[in-house]
Amino acid sequence: MRKKQIEKILTISTIAVIFAVWYGATKFELVSSVMIPPPKKVLDAFITIWNEGYKDASILKHLFDSLERLIIAFFIAVITAVPLGLASGYSSKIAAVFEPVIEFLRPLPPLAYYTLIVLWMGIDNSSKIALLALAAFSPIFVSCIGAMQTVKKDYINNALMLGASKRQLFFYVSFPSCLPEIFVGVRTALGVAYTTLVAAEMVAAVSGIGWLVLDASRFLRSDIIFMGIFLMGITGILLDQIVRFAERKIVFWKGEG
């Protein structure tokens, strides 16, 4: 308990120091307010947009549109990458088919192929969701392959000695052993997809937090930019906490023994 209290104090102190430095730098005009706005100006921008909206849409509408794209794409990535990654980790023949394609796409920046996706799927939400799903696919796929290849042979041999079938071996030994690594990949993929969200909302979007930040940058509204960045950061933390909560409930044995 004492260790957790110390960690909380350190976290709160770090945040307080950052805000104090930010306030001091703007208060004493050490930096231009155009580049780094004062905290009060950012708060005022949030209150104004909360009450009046931004470009004929409320802040909740912008947030909902971004989260809708993100969550749909993330769900698609999980339900496709997990089984394909596990299958590739289990069978070298399946890996030989899919792994070269994924390894080719994985290092490419999203904007490198976003134009092609727009040409194929149009400029509506489907192209944005496809981009986010592709961005989230690779981290999950790679983590699933690695997890399957690191399942302890002792677990498998013991299960076979007890007469376990291939189906039982997968669902009761291999898959549970892979879950901790899968969740690492899922959390990484969520972060990658969120960072790609801004790129996805650069093309023909009229709503979304990423679009709001990009639109505000055209008018040098650094207060709105900061507000959008804070909102994206807080939302990202909350989404990650949801995934971590699911991990604690599903992989409840993690860290035990």
Average predicted confidence (pLDDT) for the chain: 88
- Tally DSSP H helices, then E strands, for the chain: 11, 0
What confidence tier does 74 reach under pLDDT thresholds 50, 70, 90? very high
Q: Is the pLDDT of residue 25 over 80?
A: yes
d(CA 10, CA 4) in angstroms, rounded, equals 10
Separation in Å, CA 125 to CA 29, 142, 163, 173: 42, 27, 50, 39
d(CA 80, CA 67) in angstroms, rounded, equals 20
In the chain, the largest separation of any two C-alpha atoms, in whole Å, equals 74
What is the share, in percent, of the chain residues with pLDDT greater than 90?
A: 45
Nearest one of 67, 24, 75 to 197, comparing CA atoms: 67
Q: Is the pLDDT of residue 162 over 90?
A: no
Q: Is the pLDDT of residue 3 over 80?
A: no
Cα atoms in the Cβ-side hemisphere of radius 13 Å centred on 173:
23
d(CA 173, CA 192) in angstroms, rounded, equals 30
Place of tokens 């979304």: 208
Give the helix/strand (H/E) hosting 62. Answer: helix 59-90
Look up residue 32 and give its two tokens: 């231009």
d(CA 49, CA 63) in angstroms, rounded, equals 12
pLDDT tens readout for residues 122-154 = 888 898 999 999 999 999 999 999 999 888 888
For residue 109, what is the DSSP state?
-
Q: Is the pLDDT of residue 256 over 80?
A: no
Four-point Cα dihedral 47, 50, 53, 57, nearest 10: 160
The correct CATH number of 36-250 out of 3.30.540.10, 3.40.50.720, 1.10.3720.10, 3.40.190.10 is 1.10.3720.10
Contact (CB, 8 A) for 239 and 171: no
Domain boundaries, the chain: 1-31, 36-250
pLDDT of the residue at 122: 84
pLDDT tens readout for residues 33-71 = 888 999 999 999 999 999 999 988 899 999 999 999 999
Q: Is the pLDDT of residue 257 over 70?
A: no
CA angle 149, 78, 119 (to 5 degrees): 120
Main-chain dihedrals φ then ψ at residue 236, nearest 5 degrees:
-60, -40
Quote the strand ranges of 54-107, DSSP E: none
